[in-house]
Amino acid sequence: MPRLRLAALILLAMVSACARPPAPPPVAVAPPPVILDPDSACLQELAGLHVSFEPVAAFGEPGQGCGITNPVKVAAGTVAWNRPGVVTCAMARTMARFELEVVQPAAFARFGQPVKRIHHMGTYDCRVRRTSTKVAAQYGGSRGGRLSEHAKGQAIDIGAFELADGTMVSVKKDWRAGGARSGFLHDVARGSCSTFNVALTPNHDRLHQDHLHLDIGPHTLCGY
């Protein structure tokens, strides 16, 4: 290579090196975003409350709108249940709150002992609401049948509470019977209105004579 040409190349390289802008200051690399999974937070809370449960796979019945995206199978809340129930994690958490803040204080106040088992009549169920015309009218008339909150795992029907000594307090038998059992059920019903979004009792309609329907659906109704 001719010497002149080599010198020109070296000069060019030096000029371009001088013209290069200074290296930018190092940019702090942001840590990957922490994704807070509301379900995992809920599951942790359930575990912290000593609810006996296991997460189950999300399920649904396409076309019917039934199903649960974050189901848990609860074997027992903070109080034993007569049989397992499948609900959303949020519903399981609300039940635990209800047991601790409403059921047990009422039981101690009325009977001086705790409830040892909640007898429920159903949790998840893919069906439309069983509702009277009167109630349907309040929701804008759901003659065709709006899906029950049971179909979304957000509801439970409770038929009775069993005390530590084995006494059964039944919605069907005791709601209107007067005395401590009736008083307890009414205490629980009143308390459930501030724990759940919807609480339906025998006072509400003829379809709820034997159980308390409690749900965390989008509506608000204290049927006490």
Are the C-beta atoms of residues 188 and 207 closer than 8 Å to each other?
A: no
**Of 48-56, 83-91, 135-143, 154-162, which segment contacts Zn ion by CB under 5 A?**
154-162
Residues 162-221 interacting with Zn ion (rule: CB under 5 A): 213
Identify the residue among 99, 157, 162, 174 touching Zn ion (CB under 5 A): 157
Task: Please say which residue, 67 or 114, places its beta carbon nearer to Zn ion.
Answer: 67
Task: Please say which residue, 157 or 162, places its beta carbon nearer to Zn ion.
Answer: 157
Are the C-beta atoms of residues 35 and 51 closer than 8 Å to each other?
A: no
**Of 21-29, 56-64, 91-99, 149-157, which segment contacts Zn ion by CB under 5 A?**
149-157
Q: Mind spelling out the 3-state secondary structure of the chain?
A: CCHHHHHHHHHHHHHHHHHCCCCCCCCCCCCCCCCCCHHHHHHHHHHHCCCEEEECCCEEECCCCEEECCEEEEEECCCEEEEEEEEEHHHHHHHHHHHHHHHHHHHHHHHCCCEEEEEEEECCCCCECCCCHHHHHHCCCCCCCCECHHHHCCEEEEEEEEECCCCEEEHHHHCCCCHHHHHHHHHHHHHHHHHCCEEECCCCCHHHCCCEEEECCCCCEEEC
Task: Please say which residue, 204 or 213, places its beta carbon nearer to Zn ion.
Answer: 213
CB of 84 to Zn ion, least distance (A): 17
CB of 125 to Zn ion, least distance (A): 8
**Of 34-42, 59-67, 70-78, 153-161, which segment contacts Zn ion by CB under 5 A?**
153-161
Residues 56-115 interacting with Zn ion (rule: CB under 5 A): none
CB of 126 to Zn ion, least distance (A): 13
Task: Please say which residue, 157 or 174, places its beta carbon nearer to Zn ion.
Answer: 157
**Of 16-24, 150-158, 163-171, 185-193, which segment contacts Zn ion by CB under 5 A?**
150-158
CB of 155 to Zn ion, least distance (A): 5
Task: Please say which residue, 43 or 74, places its beta carbon nearer to Zn ion.
Answer: 74
Task: Please say which residue, 99 or 157, places its beta carbon nearer to Zn ion.
Answer: 157
Q: CB under 8 Å to 78, separation ≥6 — which residues?
A: 49, 50, 51, 96, 99, 100
Closest residue to Zn ion, judged by C-beta, is 213
The separation between CA 69 and the C-alpha centre of its own chain, rounded to angstroms, equals: 11
Contacts with Zn ion by CB under 5 A lie at 155, 157, 213
